[in-house]
Structure 1
Amino acid sequence: MLKVLITASLFHASNYKNLNWKTVFLILFLVALVIRFPFFFRDYIDRDESTFIIMAQSWVDGFLPYTKLWDLKPPITFLFFAVVISVFGKSFIAIRLAGVVLVVITALFTYKIGTKITSKKVSFWSAVFCVFLQSLFGSLQGVMSEHICTMFFVLGVYILLSKQHLAWYFFTGILFGLSVMSKLNMAYALLAIGVYFIWKAFHEKQLWHGFQRLFVMGVAFVLLVVSTAIPYYLQGDITIWWQSIFEAPLAYSGSKQHSFLKTLPFVFIILGLLYTGFALKLIDSRSKQLQLLTVITIGILLSFMQAGKVNGHYLIQLYPFIIVPVGMAVSRFPIINKKYNGIVVVLLVLLPMEAYLEYVNVVSNKMEKGTFFNGEGIDVPRYIVENEIETKNIFFTEYHIGYWVLNETPPTKASTHPSSITRDELFPFMKNPRKTGMEELRYILEVVQPKTIVARKGKKIFDKKLEDFNSYIDVYLENNYALVKTIEGGLIYQRLE
């Protein structure tokens, strides 16, 4: 009801004139909280989020990322989760609330960027839809590395558009460094900004002015990146920092079978929309602010092409920079007749249907099981604890957030993220004793010999294309383990004596 009243009241143009950032923040926070709150109680929403939590917990326990556990992400992503865990303890609610804060700050500064280019009305609705788009559909209700890197990048872009002193450019470089060290592909957007600044300096014949700002920003960026290496240097393990953050992603990217051609339809659609907006003068191509947002968009699209795919959570990085130009273009369309305002309000309220369904799921789980927290990543560990099942060297091939719930760790470094076991190209950079995925899997099952293995019902343990891995583990489970319990989609196997 609150959201309906807020939405309805803002259709009146006079209500935007005195709109200030505090009011916008409050509205965005309420919208984000309503949409994301029911997912506070879900065990996991994306496997990557579970891995970030496990890596962060290891850091909180005193082990730098990549030393005891390993994952293919830069360290600032793990640091974000580690800070939340350090302050609030092991809390799903705290982590998901931190996700709300990320989304709201990103949307708020999307609004502030918009006010540098267009009206408060367009800026406000761009921010609202930024919340929607970062919170709905697929795995976006979790806390993804894209949420983290995008927040830092949007803050940096806002400063570029609003501040001129060199000290602010230094701070912007720090923010861009935090963004890239949360998700490396944001380097493409940063490179696009650098090229634009150089072009602009030549075009406006302000080479020294442009060089100063780029230099200061670049120095700050490098200092931030280098600062993440200091703990490893002090520990005498600088090579694992370099290999894990820079060499491993390059090797992984080079080994993938995804073709950039698969991304072309999406890329052409986005670029086509921008071109149409400029060509029809729905948006002003002479606006320096819009030029900057456009080059950032192009940089992000190039990173998608390099990856060869466009996953739903990748788009989190794109939304804040494309949504303001889109909002400006839409605002040039004929005004909707007031008699249709009610329909628009209803559509906006129905948009987060995914969240409403999750509210029902949370309430149903409370009535059935006595707790709001739900999902096999919670139910399976609860069953294991209640029935005193052995957890030493437990191996989660699915629902691996269960390690965190049980206060356990993965049996080996390479098994931190279950899919990493099958990525032979990553093993040279892990400082792992085994050199191939099959060797690692054999070691886990035949040497470590976990007493308990957790798998997922109706799904192959590894990607269905990996027939050799699946054949081996299926036969090994059949000969050496017994299925003792099925909990919804979770399968609990116990090793035979």
Structure 2
Amino acid sequence: MLKKALERLQPDYQRLSHGSVFTILCLLSFFIRLPFFFRDYIDRDESTFILVAQSWVDGHLPYTELWDLKPPLVYFFFASVIWIFGKSFIAIRMLGVLAVAGTAYFSYRIGKQFNGTKTGVWAGIGTVYLLSLFGSLQGVMSEHLSMLFMVPAIFLLIQPHRWWTVLLSGIMFGLALMTKLNLAYAVFLVGLFFIYETWRSAGWKRAGGSAFLLGAGILLVITATFLPYNLAGQGALWWDSVFMAPLAYSENKKRSLLTFLPLILVMGAFLYAAFKKGWLSSRQPGILLLIMALAGVLFSFMKVGRINGHYLIQFHPLFLVLLAVVASRALPGPRTTIKKAFMVLLILLPAESYLEYVAVTRHKADKGTFYNGEGISVPRWLKEQGLEDESTLFLEYHIGYWLTDQHPPTKSATHPSNICRPELFPFYNNPRDTAMEEIRYLMHSVKPGIVVVRRGKPIFDKTLPEENHYMQTFLDSHYRVIGSVEGADILQRK
């Protein structure tokens, strides 16, 4: 029985068209991510993107009314979905499905070009899995959107040299940068290596033309994001928010090489073995382009000072192509037993999705709706109590602003953690200088009528004892709990 199932799951690689592979990757991405469509939020960043995007739909450019630490095209894609479909979690999560499938498709195309259809297909499938599982990856993150452009940009550069492919690659790199700026290191290394290879094979004239086209494509996108701000007289705000704030953020983070040492050692050992055994070849410029991109991504992690789970979205699609190539060449004909074990592993890997399917089905049976989470249930409770119009400060579950048609009370509160990031205050003209000043302003001047917090958890990061103590003491003195919904406490000013 297992043998028959295995045979059915094994595609006829020679008959697979690009369209059929893309369809398979879309369906796989949809199946793995579907049960998470109904969560209030999967990562707090996703909620922040939605809030800033809604503000843009309402007529306010990002950073002018609400503010967060991401380039403007992140909010553009979210705003486009909201403008077309309205306040729809399903539409936003479908954006994630398409971003993952699109990235996986170009991982497949690169893998196929290196080592045939079979290698490409498994690189694509692996990309869908690792961009959709483990941690907060089921949400729509800026990394998902950035790799939707980064991987095609690299694919274009390994095609036969034509002026339009180089220009289009530059445009794709520009789109990637304006969704995730840390990719600048990878873009720089890839571009430099590409120009060097062009010079070595075709001379200075061709290399100079390639450099111009690549740079023109990148600058075209960056300029396009700047023009609306320049026309609105907000050019300085754009510069500070897009470039200066991320630099200040990365410089403020503590760095330790030990954090990255395991990943660097594993990557180094993998590449050393792969080249030594001849599974990878430096004579394939495309292989070296991928390695340059990976080096740039890893360096950006070191600059930020940590590796969150969703950061690895930028690592996986590039690495999986190399891994698929090495696996295909090192294990050209795996035994049936290995194939069976591998297929069982593939079936078991989406355990998070299976559990979520069960959870969301139970929630539908118990509550009458698939939508779940405090970010949905708290706004519903506020509406039932007639409190949805009372000024609210969401110190957690801030997607609630979107569902109650409210705005965060200050720019810093757009993402609750930004309240305690004073190093960012100068870049959006916040008149307060410290986190404590911002907290006092919120509680003494803004005076929100309702405050929403996580029950039994520190209000801010546990590394901020002074801010946590002050806020908790203030809430105990000036607010009373009027409701508890799942893991949330709802407090009203006395």
Give the TM-score of the pair, scaled to structure 2.
0.96
| Aligned with 1:109 (options 103, 106, 110) | 106
Q: Which deviations, in whole Å up to 9, do the C-alpha atoms of 1:26-45 show, x marking residues without a partner?
A: 11111111100000000000
- For residues 22 and 410 of structure 2, the distance between their equivalents in structure 1, rounded to whole angstroms, comes to 43
Separation (CA, whole Å) in 2 of partners of 1:155 and 1:340: 32
CA deviations on 1:103-138 (whole Å, 9 max, x unpaired) are: 001001111111111111111011001000000000
- In 2 relative to 1, CA 171–98 (structure 1 residues): closer, same or farther, beyond 3 Å? same
Structure 1 residue 372 corresponds to structure 2 residue 370: yes
1:301-357 residue CA offsets vs partner (Å, 9 max, x unmatched): 111111121111111111111111111211222633225544432221111000000
SS of aligned partner of 1:484: strand
1:192-211 alignment runs, 5 A limit: 192-204=189-201, 206-211=203-208
Is it true that 1:147 corresponds to 2:144 in the alignment? Answer: yes
Equivalences for 1:471-490 in 2 at 5 Å? 471-490=469-488
Alignment of 1:140-289 (within 5 A): 140-204=137-201, 206-289=203-286
Asked if residue 60 in structure 1 is aligned to residue 57 in structure 2, the reply is: yes
Can you list the C-alpha shifts for 1:188-241, whole angstroms capped at 9, x where unaligned? 111111221243245336222112111111012112111111111111111100
> Alignment partner of 2:491: what SS?
strand
Q: Which of 464, 468, 471 is 1:470 aligned to?
A: 468
- Report what 1:9 is aligned to: 8
Aligned-partner residue type, residue 414 of structure 1: S
Q: Assess if the C-alpha contact under 8 Å between 2:170 and 2:218 holds in 1.
A: yes
The within-5 A match list for 1:332-343 is 332-333=330-331, 335-339=333-337, 341-343=339-341
Give the alignment of 1:62-141 within 5 angstroms: 62-141=59-138
CA contact (8 A) 2:251 2:304 kept: no
Please report how far the alpha carbon of residue 7 of structure 1 lies from its aligned counterpart in structure 2 after TM superposition: 6.5
Quick one: distance in 1 between partners of 2:67 and 2:332?
Answer: 54
**Gapped runs of 5+ residues in structure 1?**
none
Residue identity in the other structure for 1:322: F
- Do the aligned partners of residues 198 and 345 (structure 1) sit closer, same or farther apart at CA in structure 2, a change above 3 Å counting? closer
In structure 2, the partner of 1:344 is 342
Task: Work out whether residues 391 and 451 of structure 1, in 8 Å CA contact, stay in contact via their aligned partners in 2.
Answer: no
Residues 107 and 320 in structure 1, CA contact (< 8 A), matched pair in contact too: yes
C-alpha contact (below 8 Å) 2:401/2:407 kept by paired residues: yes
User: Does the residue aligned with 2:181 lie in a helix, a strand or coil?
Assistant: coil
In the alignment, the residues of structure 2 paired with residue 440 and residue 69 of structure 1 have an alpha-carbon distance, to the nearest angstrom, of 15
- Separation in structure 1 between the aligned mates of residue 102 and residue 227 of structure 2, nearest angstrom: 29
Structure 1 match to 2:490? 492
Q: Kindly report which structure 2 residues correspond to 1:293-442, keeping only aligned pairs within 5 A, or say none.
A: 293-331=290-328, 332-333=330-331, 335-339=333-337, 341-389=339-387, 391-442=389-440
Contact 1:136 1:354 in 2 (8 A): yes
Secondary structure of the residue aligned to 2:114 is coil
Aligned length: 492
**Conserved? CA contact 1:393–1:448, under 8 Å:** no
- 1:89 is displaced (CA, Å) by 0.6
State the secondary structure of the residue aligned to 1:43.
coil
**What CA distance in whole angstroms lies between the structure 1 residues aligned with 2:158 and 2:317?**
14
Native 8 Å contact 1:391 1:452 kept in 2? no
Partner of 2:115: helix, strand, or coil? coil
Change over 3 Å in CA distance of 1:311–1:376 after alignment to 2: same
Distance 1:115 1:322 in 2: 15
SS of the residue 1:455 aligns to:
strand
What root-mean-square deviation, in Å, do the aligned CA atoms of Structure 1 and Structure 2 show?
1.7
Does residue 42 (structure 1) correspond to residue 39 (structure 2)? The answer is: yes
Range 325-334 or range 17-26, more displaced: 325-334
Q: Are the counterparts in 1 of residues 131 and 313 from structure 2 also a CA contact under 8 Å?
A: yes
SS in 2 for 1:491: strand
Quote the Cα distance in structure 1 between the aligned partners of 2:112 and 2:332.
22
Q: Distance in 1 between matches of 2:29 and 2:231?
A: 41
**Per-residue deviation, 1:447:** 1.0
Task: State the secondary structure of the residue aligned to 2:405.
Answer: coil
Deviations 1:421-479 (A, max 9, x none): 10111111111232322111111111111110000012100011111111111111001
Q: Percent identity?
A: 47
